[in-house]
Amino acid sequence: MTFRHPTRRGFLASTMSSLAALAAAGAMPRRARAATPPGVLVVGQIAEPKALDPAAVTAVNDFRILVNLYEGLTRYKPGTLEVAPGLATDWTISDDGTVYTFTLREGVRFHDGTPFDAEAVKFNFDRMLDESHPYHDTGPFPLAFFFGSVAKTEALDPRTVRFTLNEPYAPFLSNLAYPTGLIVSPEAVKRHGKEFGRNPVGTGPFRFVEWRSNEAVVIERNPDYWGEKAGTEAVIFRPITDANTRVAEMLAGGIDLMVEVPPTSLAQFRGGGFSIVEQAGPHLWFLILNCKEGPFADKRVRQAANYAINKEAIVNDVLEGTATVAAGPIPPAFNWAYNDALEPYPYDPDKARALIEEAGAAGAKLVFYVTEGGSGMLDPVPMGTAIQADLEAVGFDVEIKTFEWNTFLGQVNPGLEGKADMAEMAWMTNDPDTLPYLALRTEAWPDKGGFNSGYYSNPKVDELLEKARTSTDQAERARLYKEMQVIVHDDAPWVFVANWKQNAVTSDRVKNFRLEPSFLLHLASVVKE
């Protein structure tokens, strides 16, 4: 099969001919329909993508396609969340941490043949950040605040680009590796305007072929890729929103690879021509406790909640082993910033009762906000019910209020004051800074535009987080984060519940597949037999 013409017809013709060849060989014509052709990987996605413009999308589901089409200046080293060179080969950071100068990789071209250079990088960031840029109207760009600290971007020469930040901001490098920082072709944006999201052009190992609404997004190997060429001829992403149908398609051979397998379905894939892949990610599932009022204003009661909830039972029984018990506010996937010395609160109902007694909170009534679903929320209703049972066992009277996800966010993000004592929440981030900075600082209380919905406040934590954000030395940042984790663990503004392990199932014909801790889905090295 060749893919010289990136058109639907050409693609179909070639796949048709290979199918015809298969059928002619008489190899189970019925089954041949269900089994996917070799060299073409079919991926079961959880939803239709919103757009294929990296600056405009927010969902992990869309990122899974994007990272195969585009590249950023930096990327995550495979298997880690550490930053490595991408389209930039190296960089220097000024001593005050505000000027980043990148040297760009030579000989890289976009899929449309235009060269990748410093002007292209400048175009990308100006489009996202500068409201007067002629192509700013190709947005909106909801995650542009990832680069909110960028004051200006300059192309010094074709191979050198300089970013000036208005304040030191250490997560900048890892934000560049995040899908929002992926580099698009300026010429393609100019040509397609608002339709760029359906006509993506990047520099990645795959290039775009077609997008059939609600059926498939097709990408094929980029023959001119500067690095190692992709292992499959093409990848087809199929949106299958219903989890049961996705499982059935996998069992029937209609897809080769599926992500986010429901925990209860995993057993069907053990053995029998499938392999299961798991990878812990930068995810934290926790309970926000209202530190401002009610029983949880007392630190002892907050600790009691951490002792009272049987997290082992939640991850093993409710989530069927698809998560691990969380110890603190930073997930272990950030290996360099994670404090190994931290132990999760053990399940100890007696100690919880003693602490509650001591604080005089026995029999307190708690209002608990639970969501029906949502990004990264895993199985929120059964988890909420299990938590309710554990808390009632130590003498609380817990009332659950359930909301649909968007409504839930509308209730929780403005703060829990006057409404609830606790709420479920989950975050997936790309830098250890993000979650604590946005959700644990005093300056991040909801009325100041942050996500600290439980009104936790500890000046020492504030100071450590500010310092870690402005330091450009990773070892120094790691030390600060580790210190912060110990304090937050003890203050217990949250109940630390689970770190999700992302999972995927592949058929036996798929080789070299691995999941990344970043939750992104890099398919360039995957081979299908």
Partner 1 sequence: MLLGITVIVFLIMSLIPGDPATAILGAYATPENVEKLNRDLGLDRPMVERYFIWLGNMLQGDFGRSFSLNRPVIDEVAERFSATLVLAGTSFVLCALFGIAAGVVSAVRQYGLADRLITFAVLIGISVPSFFLGMIMILFFAVRLRWFPVSGMYAIYGGGDLADLLHHLVMPAVALAAVAAGVVARLSRSAMLEVLRQDYIRTARAKGLRERRVIFGHALRSAMVSIIPVLGLQAGFVLSGAVYIETVFQWPGVGRMLVDAILKRDLMLVQGGVVFVAAAYVLFNIAVDVAQALLDPRIKT
Tokens of 499: 């770190």
What's 251-295 look like in SS3?
A: HHCCCCEEECCCHHHHHHHCCCCEEEEEEECCEEEEEEECCCCCH
What are the helix and strand counts (H, E) for the chain?
A: 15, 20
Determine which residue in the list 254, 332, 380, 493 makes contact with partner 1, applying CB under 8 A. 254
CA 152 – CA 161 distance, rounded (Å)? 11
| Number of CB atoms found within 10 A of residue 487's CB | 15
Residue numbers 42-81 binding partner 1 by CB under 8 A: 42, 47-48, 50-51, 53, 56, 58
> What is the rounded CA–CA span in Å between residue 103 and residue 92?
9
Instruction: Quote the CA–CA distance of 206 and 521 in Å, as a whole number.
Output: 13
Largest CA distance in the chain: 79
Q: HSE on the CB side for 525, CA within 13 Å?
A: 9
CA distance 191 to 372: 42
The CB-of-481 to partner 1 minimum distance in angstroms stands at 20
Site string for partner 1, 363-402 (x = CB under 8 A): -----------xxx--------------------------
Under the binding rule (CB under 8 A), the answer on residue 260 touching partner 1 is no
Of 86 and 281, nearer to partner 1 (C-beta) is 281
**Among 171, 450, 454, 517, which residue sits at the site for partner 1 (rule: CB under 8 A)?**
450
Show the site string, 4-43: x = touches partner 1 by CB under 8 A, - = not.
-------xx--xx--x----------xx-xx-xx--x-x-
Candidate list 193, 273, 360, 410; residue touching partner 1; CB under 8 A: 410
Min CB(447)–partner 1 separation in Å: 9
Residues between 121 and 160 that touch partner 1 (CB under 8 A): 139-140, 142-143, 145
Stretch that binds partner 1, among 84-92, 297-305, 446-454, 467-475 (CB under 8 A): 446-454
Residue 407 as a binder of partner 1 (CB under 8 A): the answer is: yes
Q: Which is nearer to partner 1, 379 or 390 (CB)?
A: 379
Q: Which residue in the set 133, 159, 192, 194 belongs to the binding site for partner 1 (CB under 8 A)?
A: 194
Among residues 56 and 478, whose Cβ is nearest to partner 1?
A: 56
Residues 6+ apart with CB under 8 A from 84: 74, 75, 76, 77
Distance CA 379, CA 386 (A): 11
Q: Which is nearer to partner 1, 145 or 341 (CB)?
A: 145
Please state the closest distance from residue 39 (CB atom) to partner 1, in A: 11
Beta sheet of 160-165, edge-to-edge order: 88-93, 99-104, 160-165, 150-157
Q: What is the dihedral of CA 481, 482, 483, 487, to 10 degrees?
A: 90
* CA distances in angstroms from 196 to 124, 171, 189, 284, 461, listed in the order given: 13, 28, 6, 34, 43
Q: Which residues bind partner 1 (CB under 8 A)?
A: 11-12, 15-16, 19, 30-31, 33-34, 36-37, 40, 42, 47-48, 50-51, 53, 56, 58, 139-140, 142-143, 145, 194, 197-198, 213-216, 236, 238-242, 244-245, 248-249, 251-254, 374-376, 404-411, 413-414, 425-427, 438, 446, 449-451
